[in-house]
Structure 1
Amino acid sequence: MFLEFLYPLVKYFTPLNVFRYLTFRAAYGALTALFISFLFGPRIIEALRTLKVGQAIRDDGPQSHLKKGGTPTMGGVLIILSVIVAVLLWQDLHNFYVWLTLTGFVGFGAVGFIDDYLKVTQKNSKGLPAWAKLVGQFGVAFAIVLTLYYTEDEHITQLYLPFFKNPIVNLGWVWIPFAVLLLVWESNAVNLTDGLDGLAIGLVILVFIALSVLTYLSGRADYAAYLGIPYIQGAGELTIFCLALVGASVGFLWFNAHPAEVFMGDVGSLSLGGVMAVLSLIIKKEILLLIVGGVFLLEAVSVVLQVVSYKLRKKRIFKMAPLHHHFELSGWAETKVVIRFWILGGLFALIAISTLKIQ
């Protein structure tokens, strides 16, 4: 909005030329989202308390979590609100990728909102039936993927691997189910990780810092050519979205740090996981995303392994899945699990960025 209304006035007031610079708008997009989070966070938390939108705690988990029962949930609406305002103010609203990313973000958030709403109104931790939740996620995913597929971008169905400059294969129509599964997987992976105060949102911050670097480089023809990565015209604008999300997440972490005053709920976790996958599809970093969000991958895989092992062998591999609960039940304090997983998340992000030079 600022770009459209203020930049044309540069001929009358030259300092407005700064609105032309992507880095300027990205920095202030982050600050705007952070400011909105700080400003409206206490109000939203108080409103959630008034409405008695409290988290129901599963009774088969660590017993130390039972005292968290009743903590306001659905705090993800604060993240979504902050990002939407920052995007509308600082992004180029004529950019197709901006609207597609925002649609995916809000779409997955809507599925999570319905799930959270049912949890708090029914006073249990079940929410939507698993099949209904998946139907919603697959519906949003198909809409995003088909929209991208029919843009007929030359890169869209090509599969790139870390350490390789050129695509290893053109998936053709097979890219559609592959991309849909990636969106649903990543959305659920963040959801599964959101089990300790500050854990998921701290990892999200690290992932989106890395994605902001990747979107910026992918949107610059000179840097893309130098690094041997696909140049995606217009993708650089998504750097603003990524940093706005970082700002909103930092603001949310202020209230979600141990002991948490609010939980993000499914409205937050599903939207965050879904949108990071949408970004990876646009800039052709689908496989690299699994490294960038390595902790999310480990958490999701731990659940799959636990279920498969119990179904086939009637034995559990971990004391409890997802993985963070295994370490809690092994005697680690909640804050120790969170900080160590953050460290691991930072290492995964650095490794992912380093692959750009090793190809």
Structure 2
Amino acid sequence: MFVGHALLAFAVAALVAERRGWNGRRALLVGAVAGAFAAVPDIDVAYALVGLADWRLLGGSLGAPAAFWDASRAVHRSATHSLVVGVVAAPAFALFVVRDSSRARIARLVGGGLLAGLVALALVVDGPLSGFVMALFAASGVLVAAVAARRTSLSPAAVALAALWGLWSHPWGDLVTGSPPEWLYPLESSLLASRVVLHADPTLHLLGAFAIELATIWLALAAVCRLTDRSPLALVDRRAGAGVAYGLVALAATPPTLAVSYHFVFSILVVGALCGVSCGVPSTTALRADGGRSVPIPAASPLLERALTAVGAVTVALLAYATVYTFVAPL
């Protein structure tokens, strides 16, 4: 879900910006900034590297993935995922985008003060570990803001809105894959206190969660195509259909669940990657109908076509696997 958080924020921000009259390039830029901020809350998994270190040094019975996630539970989806923290952090990050030299120093002092307050709050409420994670969160957000200030012409207000959307959109993506975040940290809240179950069958639940993630990726790719005047479906190579063979895996492999999903996730992504890498790149522009006449669509970059083909192959593979698992495997 790490990628999904960023892509959802990117797609929605870019499409909203376009709808409000921004040109394609600026809309993509604000979407990219929102997506980068949406990835910042998951900096709290950095502590999980401690679990990997323990696994390697102590040689325990846990595998690397299990050790990683066990360690991450100490702080993951807590302070950095809070809507309360987000509403303070977003304008604080935007203050680092002020470019007017006469006001930049004061703006950064104020922004730094707000972020230092968040770090102090986490330190007081939950101790050194939470304070350390909040410091990583603050530093990551400042880095995103600094890049936005240097590489874009977005105003501090636009960056503040992008940051707020990115930080606020992030926690919702965790509702079907793990324990819900601490929405109002440091305050107590009973809001959506348990995981949303898509299906009683744990494998179908996982497939549903994977489908949501896949839909988010499609939305992001569709946004890129719309803002660059391309047709997403026209750019999916026919090799994506090879993903249908993945349905046979449902008959041979252990059904995946949220607890044990690595074999499914990695193998289905390999199918997509192979289809994407093997596809050809169009040598001429495609055509689309526009008012009864054919007009050229700008030729896609190799990366975009391969990404669309890879995601198309994964989609076909997921549908094939779900069909075989549901209707053939029980026989």
Q: Same fold (TM over 0.5)?
A: no
Task: Flag the structure with larger Rg.
Answer: 2
TM-score of the two chains, using structure 2 as the length reference: 0.28
